[in-house]
Chain A
Amino acid sequence: MASPPVSQPEGMLPPRSEVGVTGWLHANLFSNWFNSVLTLVSAALLVTGLWFGLKWIFLAADWTVISELGGRFLLGRYNTEAACEGQNCFWRPQAALIMVSVLLGAAWGLRGNRVARAVAWLVAGVSAAFAFLPYNLATMGLDVRILLLLNLPAVPLGWALAKYTPLGTGTRVTILGVAIFFITLILLRGLPGLPFLQPVSVVYWGGLSLNLILAVGGITLSLPIGIALALGRRSNLPVVKVLCVFFIEVFRGVPLITLLFMSQTLVPLAFPEDMPQNSLFRAAVVITLFSSAYMAENIRGGLQALHPGQAEAARALGLPGWQTTMLISLPQAIRNVIPAIVGQFIGLFKDTSLVYIIGMLDVVAIGRSFIQSNPEYLPSARELFVFLAAVFWIFTYGMSYISGKVEDYMGVGRR
């Protein structure tokens, strides 16, 4: 039944101060005298902050330190003559980057997701844009520029692979991702015996790529290790439980820096002398274990918050214990703590900057050592660290943005 049309008598309209722009201003900025004062004070603060900030960024700041460092921000000393004697290894990180573009394209093709598409094109687009930097800003040869441009066709290639070939399932793309990570490591490290893959010592690895390698390796491994530790801590087997509690509490109770120092001074002593030693590998293991101890506590929180009825119902339906855990408890627990897990991933990415303390040349260390060895750039330290903060911020904020999208997709807090 259609409701009779309601005629709105004139004079019943809401007052003009409650609707539209004025209404919004009234409700959000000037609802009472205290709020009005607050608005004026913070607006003044904002305007002065913006005025001086923008003036500094565009007029006062001297950004030559950034262009002076250029590619070293991304690759550290990898491209230098000392790293690969008598050979060109510039193409190795570029090839790895192209593989990453293919992978991102495949992730986009898998679900046709808008965020995945945006990320893939952003990475490829920025890489390709580097190819067009004028020669006086970036001393790259034509070969490097062509390799950078190849990132653009790599994205649709990955998309097509995921869309039209048997590769296009979630598991296979994940396997492809892990494979690409290891191929990248091999490419950068080199293989003894192969003339075109001359070994490059890890002391020459550096820059943002080092942070990213540590972060990607740590993120992929800390989640499964954390899950195992969380399950171990909740298990009713006393020996397993005690071991997991001990591991988690020790790693959570000590600063990461102390652990990193130990990994460089004590851990080598704990292995036989003739075993090959790799300081970067040890640092990566410590960062991963540190992060997985925190991850374990996050996942334990998720498991604890789960209603016991879920597991009881699964057992009542006849699922064995491990299937109850893997199919019923864990998926729900993990979904519920996605924000905490991503928070830990972000923390891990930020923590990769700490390898500076043990003398590795990550992106922070590259910048700082440049300033220390070239005192004429000392006044530019502010510009340098503002730039570094922006670089880290883009990655970490991107991660929390994607996490928000994943939460929406999985219905966190809605079911």
Chain B
Amino acid sequence: MDSASRLLTYQGIPVWRHVQIIQWAVQIVSGILVVALVVWFFSNMVGAIQDRDIPSGFSFLSREYQTPIGEHFIPYESSDTFLYALLVGITNTAIVAVAGVFLATALGIFIGVSRLSSNWIVSKLAMVYIEFFRNVPLLVQLFFWFYIVLELPAIRESFVVADAFYLSNRGFSMPWPKATEYSVAVIWLGLAAVAIVAGWLVYRRQARMEEQTGRSGYPLIYSFATALVIGAIAWLILSFAGGSSPFYISMPEPQGRFGNIVGGFTARAGLLVLLTGLVMYTASFIAEIVRAGIQSVGRGQTEAARALGLSPMSTLRSVTFPQAMRVIIPPLISQFLNLTKNSSLGGAVAYSDLTNIAVTMTQTAPAVSIFMLIMASYLAMSLTWSLIGNLYNRHIRFVGG
């Protein structure tokens, strides 16, 4: 072996065939490439910012935003700061996301179970629903609902149900609990939280008792009763002490010459359209997940449970459902995440979600900083959903299996 090729060997293997050396070389080269690319982009961006005098930095956050926001659930005025306006956007997105997740899950489970119904018509209707709403872009659906809501009657000719629910082209109003006095309401909410914790403790105690002794402990009944009793006692004491109950039900009522609706809770047209579209769209995916989850539980499981003498309801509750949940939860969480991200289409139907507000902001504030902030916000929301999903997954995974 001549000296040149001996120089290029390591542990007696030529370097270009030595696995460890190749792996290190690949890593170093790819690392350097990526770093170089990022540095190049960054220097270009810094150069462009300096050349064209584009504003940058985060000092704008404490400036006044001075732009009205169409819909806000926390008090907002044009004189508030950019930072606060972004917070308004985050709450708007969060409210759509949470309300949408609950409604879409409920509708999705309903449709998914209908799809598995032994009734031919019900099953086919569910299939038509799924195949239609899953296969049409959300944007097209949102525009469809947008123009449907536009064609609803004007506010003075609203559809009214039981003098409590009003539907017009301005939105949908319904009765809503409102705090009589803020401090009393907060105290009651705190006590209600205590009641729920107490109920949960009772549930655990009764369940353990049932497990250890075999006697029926009725954990659900006892825990609900505990929570309700504590909550009710707190309510009564606060009502007597404060002279009025912590919350009252505010009814929506048309007022004045234009029939504007005062009181209650009003989901304005933008929110109504966005929520309808998101819920109908996501429910079709959730229905498929629910169907696949229930079908994934082997027929033998149900048969064995029935053979052991469990009633059909108990079979569903203690055998089929817990096993289906293992299959259902991970994709369900990713649908929740998708719903949250899809709410960024709000801008197309006149709902001021986070993306819409932020994109409007780029006209008066540095775009680079704003996009960094929105990316961070959405990543935080994604992480929150993943965290919830992982916690639940840890709770339901196979133990010792």
A3 at the interface (CB under 8 A from B): no
Bitwise, A16-42 to B at CB < 8 A (1) or not (0) is 000000000000110100010011001
Q: Tell me whether A385 and B31 are in contact (CB under 8 A).
A: no
Given A250-B379, A258-B378, A389-B144, CB of A270 within 8 Å of CB of B136: no
Q: Tell me whether B347 and A388 are in contact (CB under 8 A).
A: no
Bitwise, B346-364 to A at CB < 8 A (1) or not (0) is 0110000001000100100
Distance in angstroms from A234 CB to nearest chain B CB is 14
The complex places the Cα of A29 from the Cα of B119 at a distance, in Å, of 5
Given A243-B34, A397-B135, CB of A45 within 8 Å of CB of B119: no
Q: Tell me whether A386 and B144 are in contact (CB under 8 A).
A: yes
Q: Tell me whether A357 and B119 are in contact (CB under 8 A).
A: no
Q: Which of chain A's residues have a CB closer than 8 A to the CB of B154? A: none
Distance in angstroms from B149 CB to nearest chain A CB is 11
B382 at the interface (CB under 8 A from A): yes
The complex places the Cα of A386 from the Cα of B49 at a distance, in Å, of 45
Given A243-B30, A364-B137, CB of A38 within 8 Å of CB of B122: yes
Bitwise, A244-271 to B at CB < 8 A (1) or not (0) is 0000011011111110011001100111
Q: Which of chain B's residues have a CB closer than 8 A to the CB of A269? A: 44-45, 48-49, 54, 368
B258 at the interface (CB under 8 A from A): no
Q: Tell me whether A353 and B125 are in contact (CB under 8 A).
A: no
User: What residue in chain A is nearest B148 (Cβ atoms)?
Assistant: A382
Q: Tell me whether A28 and B382 are in contact (CB under 8 A).
A: no
Q: Which of chain B's residues have a CB closer than 8 A to the CB of A249? A: 379
Q: Which of chain B's residues have a CB closer than 8 A to the CB of A381? A: 143, 147, 150
Q: Tell me whether A389 and B136 are in contact (CB under 8 A).
A: yes
Q: Tell me whether A270 and B341 are in contact (CB under 8 A).
A: no
Q: Tell me whether A270 and B139 are in contact (CB under 8 A).
A: no
Q: Tell me whether A46 and B144 are in contact (CB under 8 A).
A: no
Q: Which of chain A's residues have a CB closer than 8 A to the CB of B26? A: 237, 240
Q: Tell me whether B140 and A385 are in contact (CB under 8 A).
A: yes
Given A253-B379, A392-B140, CB of A273 within 8 Å of CB of B125: no
Instruction: Indicate which residue in B34, B41, B136, B139 contacts A393 across the interface (CB closer than 8 Å).
Output: B136
Instruction: Indicate which residue in A237, A257, A266 contacts B27 across the interface (CB closer than 8 Å).
Output: A237
Between A39, A272, A385, the greatest number of chain B beta carbons within 10 A of the residue's beta carbon is seen for: A385
Instruction: Indicate which residue in A39, A243, A261, A388 contacts B121 across the interface (CB closer than 8 Å).
Output: A39
B202 at the interface (CB under 8 A from A): no
Q: Tell me whether B135 and A239 are in contact (CB under 8 A).
A: no
Q: Tell me whether A265 and B143 are in contact (CB under 8 A).
A: no
Q: Tell me whether B378 and A368 are in contact (CB under 8 A).
A: no
Instruction: Indicate which residue in A239, A270, A364, A382 contacts B44 across the interface (CB closer than 8 Å).
Output: A270
Q: Which of chain A's residues have a CB closer than 8 A to the CB of B151? A: 379, 382
A400 at the interface (CB under 8 A from B): yes
Q: Tell me whether A392 and B48 are in contact (CB under 8 A).
A: no
Q: Tell me whether B119 and A42 are in contact (CB under 8 A).
A: yes
Q: Which of chain B's residues have a CB closer than 8 A to the CB of A271? A: 41, 44
Q: Tell me whether A382 and B147 are in contact (CB under 8 A).
A: yes
Q: Which of chain A's residues have a CB closer than 8 A to the CB of B367? A: 265-266
Q: Tell me whether A364 and B121 are in contact (CB under 8 A).
A: no
Distance in angstroms from A277 CB to nearest chain B CB is 12
Task: List residues of A (41-79) whose CB comes within 8 Å of B's CBs.
Answer: 42-43, 45-46
A238 at the interface (CB under 8 A from B): yes
Given A35-B118, A42-B121, CB of A258 within 8 Å of CB of B137: no
**Residues of B in contact, count (CB < 8 Å):** 55
Given A266-B368, A269-B45, A382-B147, CB of A253 within 8 Å of CB of B382: yes
Instruction: Indicate which residue in B42, B135, B342, B368 contacts A400 across the interface (CB closer than 8 Å).
Output: B135
The complex places the Cα of A204 from the Cα of B57 at a distance, in Å, of 36
Distance in angstroms from A286 CB to nearest chain B CB is 13
Q: Which of chain B's residues have a CB closer than 8 A to the CB of A257? A: 344-345, 347, 355
Given A29-B121, A255-B342, CB of A266 within 8 Å of CB of B136: no
A346 at the interface (CB under 8 A from B): yes
The complex places the Cα of A257 from the Cα of B359 at a distance, in Å, of 10
The complex places the Cα of A31 from the Cα of B31 at a distance, in Å, of 66
A396 at the interface (CB under 8 A from B): yes
Bitwise, B303-325 to A at CB < 8 A (1) or not (0) is 00000000000000000000000
Q: Tell me whether B344 and A389 are in contact (CB under 8 A).
A: no
A354 at the interface (CB under 8 A from B): yes
Q: Tell me whether B144 and A255 are in contact (CB under 8 A).
A: no
Instruction: Indicate which residue in A31, A258, A272, A389 contacts B140 across the interface (CB closer than 8 Å).
Output: A389
Instruction: Indicate which residue in B120, B136, B139 contacts A28 across the interface (CB closer than 8 Å).
Output: B120
The complex places the Cα of A261 from the Cα of B371 at a distance, in Å, of 9
Q: Tell me whether B125 and A382 are in contact (CB under 8 A).
A: no
Q: Which of chain B's residues have a CB closer than 8 A to the CB of A393? A: 132, 135-136
Q: Tell me whether B371 and A364 are in contact (CB under 8 A).
A: no
Q: Tell me whether B138 and A28 are in contact (CB under 8 A).
A: no
B117 at the interface (CB under 8 A from A): yes
The complex places the Cα of A386 from the Cα of B367 at a distance, in Å, of 37
Task: List residues of B (108-160) whose CB comes within 8 Å of A's CBs.
Answer: 117-122, 125, 131-132, 135-141, 143-144, 147-148, 150-151
Distance in angstroms from A153 CB to nearest chain B CB is 33
Given A28-B120, A266-B45, A273-B48, 16 additional A-B pairs, CB 8 A? A28-B118, A29-B121, A240-B26, A250-B375, A253-B383, A254-B378, A261-B371, A271-B41, A350-B137, A354-B139, A382-B147, A385-B144, A385-B147, A389-B140, A393-B135, A396-B136
Some 21 contacts from A to B, beta carbons below 8 A apart, are A38-B119, A46-B121, A239-B27, A239-B28, A249-B379, A254-B341, A254-B378, A254-B382, A261-B355, A265-B362, A265-B371, A266-B367, A269-B49, A269-B54, A269-B368, A270-B44, A270-B45, A354-B345, A385-B144, A389-B141, A392-B135
Question: Which A residues lie at the B interface, using CB under 8 A?
Answer: 28-29, 31, 35, 38-39, 42-43, 45-46, 237-240, 243, 249-250, 252-258, 261-262, 265-266, 269-273, 346, 350-351, 353-354, 356-357, 364, 368, 379, 381-382, 385-386, 388-389, 392-393, 396-397, 400
Of all A-B residue pairs in the complex, the 7 with the closest CB atoms, nearest first, are: A381-B147, A28-B120, A253-B382, A396-B135, A255-B344, A270-B41, A239-B27
Question: Which B residues lie at the A interface, using CB under 8 A?
Answer: 23, 26-28, 30-31, 34, 41-42, 44-45, 48-49, 51, 54, 117-122, 125, 131-132, 135-141, 143-144, 147-148, 150-151, 341-342, 344-345, 347-348, 355, 359, 362, 367-368, 371, 374-375, 378-379, 382-383
